Structures are given as structure tokens and as C-alpha cells.
Amino acid sequence: MSLEPDTGPKFVGPGSTLTIAEFITGVQDSDIPDKIVHQAKRTLINLMAVSLAAAFDEPSAILARRIEAEGSAPGATVIGRGLRTSPASAALLNGYLAHLYDYDDTHFPTVLHPSAPVWPAVLALAEQRGLSGRETLTAFVLGAEVACRVATSVHPWHYDQGWHITGTAGAFGAAAGAGKVLGLTAAQMVHALGVAGTQASGVREAFGSHTKALHPAKAASNGLQAALLAQDGFTGPEQIIEGRRGFWAVLSPGGHSKPALLEGLGQRWELERNGLKPYANGVVSHPIQDAIISLRNIHGITPDQVSSITARVHPLVLELMNRPAPTTGLEAKFSFQHCAAAALVDGAGHPAQFTDERVNDPIIAMVRSKVSASADPSIEEDEVSVTLTLGGGRTVETRVEHATGSPSNPMTDAALEDKFSALASAILPREQAEGLLNAVWTLDEAAGLSALIGLMVRPEEAGRS
Amino acid sequence: MSLEPDTGPKFVGPGSTLTIAEFITGVQDSDIPDKIVHQAKRTLINLMAVSLAAAFDEPSAILARRIEAEGSAPGATVIGRGLRTSPASAALLNGYLAHLYDYDDTHFPTVLHPSAPVWPAVLALAEQRGLSGRETLTAFVLGAEVACRVATSVHPWHYDQGWHITGTAGAFGAAAGAGKVLGLTAAQMVHALGVAGTQASGVREAFGSHTKALHPAKAASNGLQAALLAQDGFTGPEQIIEGRRGFWAVLSPGGHSKPALLEGLGQRWELERNGLKPYANGVVSHPIQDAIISLRNIHGITPDQVSSITARVHPLVLELMNRPAPTTGLEAKFSFQHCAAAALVDGAGHPAQFTDERVNDPIIAMVRSKVSASADPSIEEDEVSVTLTLGGGRTVETRVEHATGSPSNPMTDAALEDKFSALASAILPREQAEGLLNAVWTLDEAAGLSALIGLMVRPEEAGRS
């Protein structure tokens, strides 16, 4: 018979969780620098784009039917689909949509995707509670800050052990953002983080299944519920991060860093280390795609002109993405050959280039068969050299030093708008998509979210609940 | 920039998850021995008792209000409160009630509490889907089997690392039980286990807060939702237990046992190693309580007669439960002095003996001040020797070899009925409590659950939704 109550010493030092909670509750809108507000808007534009694109996919529809069957009272809105449901369920489904395509933002130091768990929790409660645009942006910035700092504090041990860091650290971020929307006290925030943090979950074994995107979805929903419970007086552990059997000890036994969690809080912002992806596939082939799209556009190259595409790449490209003949969209996302072929044929790497249909397109397949790569340890991960051999033996070549979306070469606002348009206009009428884009760019001036919420729903779905 | 897609080898051997799934789906009602069906009924009687007792407590009320705010369509019923809500929300709240008092059943080898995560998931879906009593019992037996086997396969490494095993392994059991109710195919069951298993969570840091009972609550609700999603075609990882980044690898890096998971499936049943608690407090002081209640009843001892109570105990009693002057009910549950005093004064150790009011009762406090214990390494954990010194120096003493509720001395059905009556009759009219008890004892003969469900609701709450 074992002993279940844990009556040993519970505290291991000054309270990191309390420090985080006091930081969240103490920040005012005016404490957030303009450039960080701008980054927050960029993440929301990207989130809207990728969520709209995923809104009507099969696994999204399954999850939506599950939520509809719950029949909850309407309180918040699902992107694209327009379903109005409880904030917790809206956060669940929006968190799912945001990550389904693996096309959301990425915190470079940790590969955490901050928007997918945090934005849906913040948006759902902010919609229900009638927050202003600026207050909503502040809540997201703080939620993202907490998610990224918790992630950084356990990186790389936690991810290496097999945790999907977006699901685990994301739950802390969702609770922080939701708690900020609710205006929790610091003590309530400690409990919100505790209730959410003990639910941190998601193992990397789920990658490749419908369930990967359920991790940030549950983080968003659980974090939101944790904040609501804490506001009502529900208690959680008071030292969920640093406690003897808390997040660090149990989910990152390999190590953790307290300075990474706490140093420079409010002086520097993790959204500065957050990037957006120009392509919807595995990141190591992004330099190849940049190079080929550049050559294609400069030289006006068409598929029938190409006799071979060769690349000198970082060794991980071959290790992780060497799939010469993918047959499904999912496989193609991890095929550098397909990514290269789609870049040449379509000039893009959006979800539209990774449908099963596109993967089996004869022209794409023809070009794909001409792609090869050699590993070169002197090449960096965000670097590549590509040579296209054309009919008659003519060659064109280029070198990409830092791929688009890497820390040294962020996507420009214009490129982000192009990505948004490509994805959103497949779901929304063009004018509405432009209106939505504008609503995000001006969100800090909006008295409320109603315009934004109205614009993110496909017209034929509007008015559902 | 790190690499997120996991494209390495995903399978580590023959599929343990598939074996479990095929076992669950293959078992017929007639494969479950009568004695195991009887054990299942005992767990349900115990669950009803402890859930009724907890149904109107403050944290239960907070969670109930949260669920009411969701406003879900009625599909299943909450014990005691009568709230009718979605099966997922009913499973959540019933899972919470079942564990709030730490007075639920215990799987001896692992300290997993199988009923709290499994019964609520099974009951909610069985109510909604109109299963027979016998089918419902079978689904619970299988869910409990899976929870206990998953737990045993990672014991003791997983719990020692800080995981609350009832929340983690419990999620697998809830998915298994819910999946059996739904009649999933083996392939669907693999995915249900995958979707649920990647959500396994709950760290022991949460012990002592309202959140401890949220672990089995979430396990119940997440497991139920996983089964529903899998039935609709939602995919999870196919090797959640044994995969390279699955449950064993990530949540039990210290070790795991495949034989413990799989050996003797369908030949022996884990419910044979599941026990019920006679007292609502930390288990190491149960022998003391047995001894004192026995002396009290045999000799008719009253509080004013006692001048001292001394016990020779296993060393863990002093290590874990030495709290001479507790001031709250929670502290008192981990005070052997209070447990001994309440045993003498009230002849019991139910939740009624651990209210703040009872802890501060002057007679209890007076007796508590006369309790002492000495550690004796030759005494087993379920053993004690107790001496009461009465006025005039007369002493009475007794030795308990195996405390009630330990593997060698299970609670009798009669003692379980007494426990049920003590707890249920505080919430339900006596006749209704008797009817509920009878409904469980005859559950295998019931064509449906409606009688049981109707009887588990306090009359003044009936008809709520």
C-alpha cells in the first residue's frame, strides 16, 4: 500500500510563479512598445489566414460537430465557420484551426507556436466580455510572453524528452492571456496558472495524426477554463512551475532555467523572437523554396524548361525530408523534392500546394523527379545553393543566405499580406478578406471586437449558433 | 531554428496499444466473472457514497457553476446535484465529486483510483445511449482494467517522478470504458486511446488544492471525448503507449514494464487488487482507527474515561501524519492524532469527522491532546498496537494485524453498506438511499440506467438542467 498524500516540503525557493503572476497583472497597455503591438497584429493576421484555410477541413469538421453536439450557449465565435458556442469550446476549435496546417508562427528559440494556444483563449473571452482592441492585444502579448518564457525555461530538455511544447507551455500562456482579459488579481493568476499548468500535456508521438493540433486547442481551452475557475475561487497549486512536483521537476527532469523564465521581464519581449512561415511545410526546406521561387520569377522559368534541380543543403534536409515520391499531402510536407517542385510550378508553398490532388499532379510529379540534393556540413540550416539546369544545358543558380521567416530575415508585412490574401481569399470574398486584414491592422484603435469577429466568418455561415 | 516534424522511426515493436484495443473490443459480458461484476458494483456503491457527500461542497459548486454557464444540451446527469448537461461535462463534474474527498477506491499496487476517471465516463455515455446495466458494468470493468494495467506498467517510476497516476493512466481507462460503451472497432479504440493518452496530465504539486480532484475529472471527460472523436474518424497516434515519443517514453523515462501491461489479459482482473477505504484520511493511520473503534465498541469507552492513547506504529505514520494540533479539515486528514481522537469520540472517520468545525470541537481536541505514537520498524504498514489508559490507570489494548481495506482484509459488503448509508443519508432521504443501494446491487439485471440515475439525485434538485 503506497502513500498518496504529498506532505513533504512543497516550496523550493522564491516563487517564480508568483513573480510571473504579478508581472501579468501589473502590465498596462501603455507598457507594451509599439513595435510589439505591431508584432501581435502580425501574428493575428497570420492566425486568421491559416485558421480560415483550415476551417472546413475534415478533422476540423469532426471537432466542430462534436462541439455542436454539446449544444453550448453562444458566447464566442469560431473563425470561418461562424459557429457561436461557449468561450471554452470556441477556444478549443480556434486553437485547432490555428495549428492544423503547421503554418502558424514559431518562437525561434523553442519551436513553440505561441498564437495557437494563446490567441483563441484571449479572443473568445475578449469577445464575450467586450474588451477593446488594445486591451485584447495586451492580453495576447502577455499570454505569448508567458508561453514563450515557460518554454524557454525548459528548452531543450523538455522537447527532447518528447513533449509537444506548444501544448504544454501553451497552457500557461493561455491561462495568462485569459486571466489578463478577466482582470484577475495576482493571487487568482497564480491559481489560474496552477490549474492550467497541471493539465499541460501533449506528446510528440501524436505528430502526423489529427491530434497534433488538438494539443494547442486543449491548451487554449484548458487555460481559459482555468482562468475562469480561478476567478471564482477555485484553487490550484501555488508553485506550479517551480514546486517540488511541479512543471519543471516532472515535465523537464533533464533541466530547467529560472533566468530564462524571469530575466528581463517587461524589458524585452519574446514576440521579437517570433517568426512567421512563408511555406506550409517542414522548415528545413524553406531555403530551397526561396531560391527556386526567386530563380523562377527572375528568369521566368516554366516547368517544361527544367531538366534538373540540384541543391547543396544542410545535412538535416536529407535526414528529415528526403521523400522522392510522396503520395499524400502530409508526406509531401516532409518531402524537399515536392517542396522544390511546387515552388517551381506554382511559385508558392501554401496549403494548396500540399493537397493530395496537387501531390499527384503529373506536372508536379515530373518536376519532382528531377530534384536532387547533396548534404554539405558547411551550409547553415537557413542557407542553400540551388542550380537549375534548363534545356540545352543552360544553368541558372542562386544562393540563399537566410531563408525568409528565419530570425535574420523575417517576412515583411507585404509578404505577410500576400500570404493572408492567398489563404483568406479561398474562403472569404476578396473584399471581406481585405476588410479583415484592415480590421487587424487597426485593432488597437477599435473600441471592441465586433467588426473583427463579424469579418472572420464566411458569409454563408454567418448567424449560426 | 529547430526541427519540429518527427520523422524518425515511430514504432518500437509489436503494438501494445493495438493488443489492448483488441482486448477491449473483444470482451463479451459473459467473459467477466461474477466475482468481478460484484467488485464493480462495490466500486459503484462506494462512488455514489463519496460523490453524494461531495456534491454540494464549495469547489464542486464552483465547477458546477462553470458547467452551468456553458449551457450545454442535457445528455447525462450529475450525481446528487441532478444537473443535466452534456456527457462530457457530466463526466467532468462526476469525476470531480468522486475524488474530492480522497475517499474513493484504490488499486493497491499503484495507488491509482480507478473509479473516479472511469465510472463517470462510462455512466454518462451509457445513460445517453441507453445501455443495459450489465453492458454498463462490463464497460466499467474494462476501463478499470486498462487504467490499472497502464498504471502498473509504469509503476513506481511514473508516480515517483511526480505524476498523479489517477489523472494520467485514468485517461486511458476512461477512453477504454467510453469506447466500449460506444462499441468502437479495435482500430477506433486505438485512436481513442491515442487521443486520450496524449492528454494524460496531472502533477502531484496540485495535491492539497481544489485541483487534485480535477485530474480524474479531466481524465474522465477527455477520455469520453476521445472515444466520441475516434468514432467520428478523428485520428490519434497509433502507438500512444509504446511509441518512441509515447506515454512510456515521455511520462515514465525511469522505466516501464510491458508484461505488466499485457500478461494475463482477460485471465485475471485488476479489480481483484482494488480496495475500498473505511476512513476518509491518509491510509497509514487506518490501523490505529480500526484498533480504537474496536476497543471503543467492545468496552463501551467514552471520551471522558480516557487519560492516554498510545500506539506502536509503522515509522511512516510519524513521518507523514504527525500533526498534533491541526486547525483545518484538510490538515486533520493528515493528523494521526485527530484520526485517533475522532475514532474514539465518533467511532468513525468519514468526511463528517474532517470538517473544520469537527476539528475544532473541544472534546475532540481534548482527546487529541492525549494521543501519542512511537515508531517501531518491526510493525507493518497495515498493522498497529494500541493501548488506551483509562481513569484509575486501567488499560485496554489491542493489536490490528491487517487494517480494514488492506489487501488482506477487504471491507465487507456490510461495512461498505454502512459507509454508503452514513454518507448518502446526509444528502438523500433514507428510503431513497436504500433504493439507490439496491439499484446498484441489482444493476446487472436492469434493462437500463434510468432507475439508478433517478435515485442518485437529491429530490429538491430533480428536474434541473
State yes or no: pLDDT of A3 exceeds 50: no
Give the pLDDT band of residue B14 (cuts 50, 70, 90): low
How many domains, in total, are found in chain A?
2
Peptide bond into A120 cis (omega under 30): no
Asked whether residue B109 falls in the same domain as residue B129, the answer is: yes
Asked whether residue B314 falls in the same domain as residue B362, the answer is: yes
Q: Is residue A423 part of a domain?
A: no
User: A352: domain range?
Assistant: 283-400
C-alpha closest to that of A382 among A306, A270, A279: A279
Asked whether residue A20 falls in the same domain as residue A37, the answer is: yes
Residues A317 and B234: their CA atoms lie apart, in Å, by 30
| CA of A87 vs chain B CAs: smallest distance (Å) | 8
Q: Is residue B433 part of a domain?
A: no
Q: Is residue B430 part of a domain?
A: no
Mean pLDDT of B432-448: 98
Mean pLDDT of A130-134: 98
Q: Last residue of some domain: B400, B423, B445?
A: B400
Per-residue pLDDT at A282: 84
B88 torsion bin: left (phi>0), alpha (psi -120 to 50), beta (else) = alpha
Asked whether residue A289 falls in the same domain as residue A261, the answer is: no
Mean pLDDT of B42-68: 97
Mean pLDDT of B443-461: 96
Q: Express each pLDDT in B139-189 by its tens digit.
A: 999 999 999 999 999 999 999 999 999 999 999 999 999 999 999 999 999
Residues A351 and A388: their CA atoms lie apart, in Å, by 25
ipTM above 0.85, yes or no: yes
Closest residue in A to B241 (Cα) is A205
Cell numbers standing for residue A8: 513533504
Per-residue pLDDT at A15: 92
Q: Express each pLDDT in A76-125 by its tens digit.
A: 999 999 999 999 999 999 999 999 998 999 999 999 999 999 999 999 99
Are residues A73 and B71, on separate chains, in Cβ contact within 8 Å?
Answer: yes
Paired residues of A434 in beta bridges = none
Are residues B161 and A218, on separate chains, in Cβ contact within 8 Å?
Answer: no
Q: Is residue A129 part of a domain?
A: yes
Asked whether residue A221 falls in the same domain as residue A355, the answer is: no
Are residues B200 and A204, on separate chains, in Cβ contact within 8 Å?
Answer: no
Give the pLDDT band of residue B448 (cuts 50, 70, 90): very high
Per-residue pLDDT at A5: 41
State yes or no: pLDDT of A335 exceeds 50: yes
Q: Express each pLDDT in B257-298 by its tens digit.
A: 999 999 999 999 999 999 999 999 888 999 999 999 999 999
Closest residue in A to B76 (Cα) is A70
- B158-169: b (≥16 Cβ within 10 Å) or e: bbebbbbbbbbb
Q: What is the 3-state secondary structure (H, E, C) of chain B?
A: CCCCCCCCCCCCCCCHHHHHHHHHHHCCHHHCCHHHHHHHHHHHHHHHHHHHHHCCCHHHHHHHHHHHHHCCCCCEECCECCCEECHHHHHHHHHHHHHHCCCCCEECCCCECCHHHHHHHHHHHHHHHCCCHHHHHHHHHHHHHHHHHHHHHCCCHHHHCCECHHHHHHHHHHHHHHHHHHCCCHHHHHHHHHHHHCCCCCEHHHCCCCCCCHHHHHHHHHHHHHHHHHHCCCCCCCCCCCCCCCHHHHHCCCCCCHHHHHCCECCECHHHHEECCCCCCCHHHHHHHHHHHHHHHHHCCCHHHEEEEEEEECHHHHHHHCCCCCCCHHHHCCCHHHHHHHHHHHCCCCHHHHCHHHHCCHHHHHHHCCEEEEECCCCCCCCEEEEEEEHHHCEEEEEECCCCCECCECCCHHHHHHHHHHHHCCCCCHHHHHHHHHHHHCHHHCCCCHHHHHHCECHHHCCCC
Are residues B250 and A381, on separate chains, in Cβ contact within 8 Å?
Answer: no
Mean pLDDT of A437-464: 93
State yes or no: pLDDT of B9 exceeds 60: no
Asked whether residue B333 falls in the same domain as residue B215, the answer is: no
Domain of A156, CATH number, reads 1.10.4100.10
Give the pLDDT band of residue B2 (cuts 50, 70, 90): very low
State yes or no: pLDDT of B13 exceeds 50: no
- The residue among A204, A238, A239 with the most chain B CBs within 10 A of its CB, best to mutate, is A204
- The residue among B111, B148, B201, B383 with the most chain A CBs within 10 A of its CB, best to mutate, is B201
Mean pLDDT of A300-327: 95
Asked whether residue B358 falls in the same domain as residue B232, the answer is: no
Residues B200 and A163: their CA atoms lie apart, in Å, by 12
Are residues B66 and A232, on separate chains, in Cβ contact within 8 Å?
Answer: yes
Q: Is residue A74 part of a domain?
A: yes
Asked whether residue B166 falls in the same domain as residue B210, the answer is: yes
Q: Express each pLDDT in B338-373 by its tens digit.
A: 999 999 999 999 999 999 999 999 999 999 999 999
Q: A246 to chain B: which residues are within 8 Å by CB?
A: 162, 203, 205
Q: A208 to chain B: which residues are within 8 Å by CB?
A: 6, 10, 237
Q: Express each pLDDT in B320-330 by its tens digit.
A: 899 999 999 98
Peptide bond into B156 cis (omega under 30): yes
Q: Express each pLDDT in B98-130 by its tens digit.
A: 999 989 999 999 999 999 999 999 999 999 999
Q: Is residue A1 part of a domain?
A: no
Give the pLDDT band of residue A10 (cuts 50, 70, 90): very low
Asked whether residue B155 falls in the same domain as residue B258, the answer is: yes
Per-residue pLDDT at A336: 97
Which pTM was predicted?
A: 0.93
Give the pLDDT band of residue B10 (cuts 50, 70, 90): very low
> How many degrees, rounded to 5, is the angle at CA B399 between CA B393 and CA B401?
170
Closest partner CB to B201 (pick from A200, A225, A406)? A200
Q: Express each pLDDT in A142-166 by its tens digit.
A: 999 999 999 999 999 999 999 999 9
Closest partner CB to A245 (pick from B71, B162, B195)? B162
DSSP string computed for A166-198: HHHHHHHHHHHHHHHHHT--HHHHHHHHHHHHT
Are residues B206 and A86, on separate chains, in Cβ contact within 8 Å?
Answer: no
Per-residue pLDDT at B282: 84
State yes or no: pLDDT of A68 exceeds 80: yes
Mean pLDDT of A375-386: 95
Asked whether residue A41 falls in the same domain as residue A79, the answer is: yes
Kindly report the average pLDDT of chain A as a whole number: 94
Mean pLDDT of B44-64: 97
Q: B161 to chain A: which residues are within 8 Å by CB?
A: 250, 253
| CA of A299 vs chain B CAs: smallest distance (Å) | 30
Per-residue pLDDT at B229: 98
Q: Last residue of some domain: A384, A400, A416?
A: A400
Cell numbers 472572420 correspond to what residue? A456
Cell numbers standing for residue A117: 494556444
Decide: helix, strand or coil at residue A461.
helix
CA distance to A55, A266, A270, per residue, from A32 (Å): 31, 8, 12
What's the first-to-final CA gap in chain B, in angstroms? 51
Closest partner CB to B282 (pick from A5, A228, A321)? A5
Mean pLDDT of A170-174: 98
Q: Is residue B414 part of a domain?
A: no
Count CA atoms closer than 13 A to A361's CA, side-chain side. 19
Mean pLDDT of A128-133: 98
Per-residue pLDDT at B12: 33
Residues B69 and A75: their CA atoms lie apart, in Å, by 10
Q: Last residue of some domain: B378, B400, B422?
A: B400
Asked whether residue A318 falls in the same domain as residue A211, the answer is: no
State yes or no: pLDDT of A72 exceeds 50: yes
Domain of B371, CATH number, reads 3.30.1330.120
Q: Which residues contact A398 (CB under 8 A, 6 or more apart)?
A: A291, A294, A295, A385, A386
Are residues B245 and A203, on separate chains, in Cβ contact within 8 Å?
Answer: yes
Per-residue pLDDT at B461: 83
Kindly report the average pLDDT of chain B as a whole number: 94
Are residues B250 and A162, on separate chains, in Cβ contact within 8 Å?
Answer: yes
Per-residue pLDDT at B464: 58
Q: Is residue A262 part of a domain?
A: yes
Asked whether residue A159 falls in the same domain as residue A66, the answer is: yes
Residues A129 and A365: their CA atoms lie apart, in Å, by 51
